[in-house]
Amino acid sequence: MPRRVLDAHPVRALEDWMAAEGGRGVARAWESKPDDLIATISASGLRGRGGAGFPTGTKWATVRANHAADLPSTVVVNGAEGEPGSYKDRSILLANPYRVIEGALIAAAAVGADQVVLALKSSAPDVVARVRQAIEEMGAAGWFQRVAVDVVVGPEHYLYGEETALLEVIDGREPFPRIAPPWRRGLADVGDDTALAARVELAGDDGATEVPPALVNNVETIANVPGIIVNGPAWFREVGTDESPGTLVVTVSGGSARAGVAELPMGITMRDAIDLVGGGARTGKVVGVLPGVSSPIVTAADLDVPLTYEDLARLGSGMGAGALMVIDEDVDPIALAQGVSRFLAVESCGQCRPCKQDGIEIASILERALSSAPAGRDRTELDSRLASITVGARCSLATQHQTVVGSILAAFPGAWERHAEAGAAPATPVQIAEIARIDDDEAVLDAGQATKQPDWSHHDTDSGAAPADRIDQRADAQMGLAAEDAVER
Ligand SMILES: Cc1cc2nc3c(=O)[nH]c(=O)nc-3n(C[C@H](O)[C@H](O)[C@H](O)COP(=O)(O)O)c2cc1C
Ligand code: SF4
């Protein structure tokens, strides 16, 4: 199996990284023209491993083109890893933070950034400590003379991983998604809560705007960069397919015999990935696989789908973060839909009313259906809420709710009817939450999710207020509405 981004043994010190591949990529980058670096990444076909599979070279070129006149851009490494079923970014960082930091320095050279921020999570203190230690070593060895490298430790919320919410947190606010994408509006001033907080200027390609863009890339995406710069695009393409070159770091969990993380060639089948990494299904029978909660369920009939962006899209699903949550025959599909729905309804920030309100209602209808026979009007209401939840949605979370829950209901058409039968047995709820850690081949889920209320408190009852209203009224400043008023509040 190729080992390109997930080192087989943890690299414990900078000198060990230097003795292996370390330093060659960044040295090459510093003697290259930015456009050549971007051309190399584009030619490699590297696609973002954070979920959307967006071409990395195109993103870098866009950020470079949108630079601001006075303020340099920032490279942000997205290490939030909030996707249920995913543990790959933390695994990569724990095994070798130097590779990721080196990749980020190369990205900074390509887009003209003078700072790198590694955005990590308070719920992963081991990762924060490991990365900080690596930064200290690299700083002492003189790696950061051109570019400052820092760590920002963000909250546990799922939305923290959404790229514009991530920028909000780095700018000192709450993880509520913005309208402007990172290539139109990056960071005002790292660590300064007030600077440009309410400005709505966007970076533009005329070089005349004040707010610089930021490059946001996932940990695994950035971990691929040094190898590509040192070995070239053709080497990168030796593994994988034309449209999905390279490797993929997958996490297998749920109903598999064991939980685990491994780097596999793109194009391996989903079934083989589950067998290799997870030892197959615990009960012997897989009825489906959820790629986190970002893409529709893949049913048992399609388990031989190659793990590539194009093949999963053809099925109407998606790669997401390579999180393969195995669903075995013991799982009740309505309970699964309810678990997904509750997670997404709770994690919605409520800036867009349908996302929060329809989301909560969908989760409630499904929850009621688990314990008491649902009526026909419940299903009508459920379908209607699933149709309207995306109205006015600012980020993809609402669409995820619509498509993932909708896909489970469609994949198991008899499940709702079985609950509707008189005397149907109540189903066991399914917990959908982030993986806190993997211990002895067992995925331990974030226990806090069970008590998290839709207002993002852990109180006994929910206040009914949306997190965006309850927690931080300054969020509206980012919407470009009454910006000056918002600053003065
Ligand atoms: C609700 C939501 C949560 C997300 N969480 C993460 C995350 O935890 N880590 C991540 O890398 N990307 C996450 N993303 C995707 C990011 O917005 C963004 O697309 C990604 O960091 C871009 O990096 P890439 O191009 O290297 O994939 C999330 C997106 C959404 C809508
Ligand atoms: S779509 Fe949902 S999660 Fe995204 S910004 Fe709107 S309310 Fe928040």
397 lines ligand 1 (CB under 6 A): yes
The ligand 1 atom nearest the CA atom of 50? 27
Q: How far out from the chain centre does Cα 380 lie?
A: 32
pLDDT at res. 205: 56
Ligand 1 center–CA 161 separation, angstroms: 5
The confidence band for 1, taking pLDDT boundaries of 50, 70 and 90, is confident
Long-range contacts of 128-133 (CB under 8 A, 24+ apart): 128/153, 130/93, 130/94, 130/97, 131/79, 131/93, 131/97, 131/101, 133/97
| 322 alpha carbon, closest ligand | 1
Span 329-354, pLDDT tens digits: 999 999 999 999 999 999 999 999 99
349 lines ligand 2 (CB under 6 A): yes
Share of the chain above pLDDT 90, in %: 81
443 lines ligand 2 (CB under 6 A): no
Mutate to test the pocket of ligand 2, among 163, 173, 294, 349 (most ligand atoms within 8 A of CB): 349
| 349 alpha carbon, closest ligand | 2
Span 361-371, pLDDT tens digits: 999 999 999 98
Span 118-140, pLDDT tens digits: 999 999 999 999 999 999 999 99
345, 363 contact by CB (below 8 A) = yes
Ligand 2 center–CA 168 separation, angstroms: 14
What is the rounded average pLDDT of the residues 370-395?
Answer: 92
pLDDT at res. 211: 78
Tokens linked to 194: 């007030």
58 lines ligand 1 (CB under 6 A): no
> Is the confidence at residue 77, as pLDDT, over 50?
yes
Rounded to an integer, what distance in angstroms lies between the CA atom of residue 380 and that of residue 359? Answer: 15
Ligand 1 center–CA 380 separation, angstroms: 33
Catalogue all structural domains in the chain, each as residue range(s) with its CATH number.
Answer: 14-236 (3.40.50.11540), 247-328 (3.10.20.600)
Question: Over the chain, what is the mean pLDDT?
Answer: 91
DSSP 422-462: TTPPPPPP-----EEEEETTEEEE-GGGGG--TTS--SSS-
351 lines ligand 2 (CB under 6 A): yes
Angle at alpha carbon of residue 163, lines to 3 and 77, rounded to 5°: 40
CA dist list (Å): 38 to 46, 47, 110: 11, 13, 6
Q: Which protein residue has the closest C-alpha to ligand 1 atom 25?
A: 48
Ligand 1 center–CA 400 separation, angstroms: 13
Tokens linked to 11: 């690299």
395 lines ligand 1 (CB under 6 A): yes
DSSP 369-408: HHHSPPPHHHHHHHHHHHHHTTTT-SSTHHHHIIIIIHHH
pLDDT at res. 209: 58
The confidence band for 183, taking pLDDT boundaries of 50, 70 and 90, is confident
78 lines ligand 1 (CB under 6 A): yes
Ligand 1 center–CA 48 separation, angstroms: 9
The confidence band for 483, taking pLDDT boundaries of 50, 70 and 90, is very low
107 lines ligand 1 (CB under 6 A): no
What is the rounded average pLDDT of the residues 221-244?
Answer: 98
Q: Token pair 């790669």 is at which residue?
A: 319
pLDDT at res. 190: 44
159 lines ligand 1 (CB under 6 A): yes
356 lines ligand 2 (CB under 6 A): yes
Ligand 2 center–CA 307 separation, angstroms: 29
475 lines ligand 2 (CB under 6 A): no
| 167 alpha carbon, closest ligand | 1
Mutate to test the pocket of ligand 2, among 160, 179, 395 (most ligand atoms within 8 A of CB): 395
> Is the confidence at residue 374, as pLDDT, over 80?
no
Ligand 2 center–CA 398 separation, angstroms: 6
Span 444-471, pLDDT tens digits: 999 999 999 999 999 999 999 999 998 7
Tokens linked to 284: 């012997």
The ligand 1 atom nearest the CA atom of 49? 27
| 479 alpha carbon, closest ligand | 2
Span 402-456, pLDDT tens digits: 999 999 999 999 999 888 886 777 888 899 999 999 999 999 999 999 999 999 9
397 lines ligand 2 (CB under 6 A): yes
75 lines ligand 2 (CB under 6 A): no
pLDDT at res. 283: 84
80 lines ligand 2 (CB under 6 A): no
Rounded to an integer, what distance in angstroms lies between the CA atom of residue 27 and that of residue 309? Answer: 32
Ligand 1 center–CA 422 separation, angstroms: 43
What is the rounded average pLDDT of the residues 11-26?
Answer: 97
What is the rounded average pLDDT of the residues 131-156?
Answer: 97
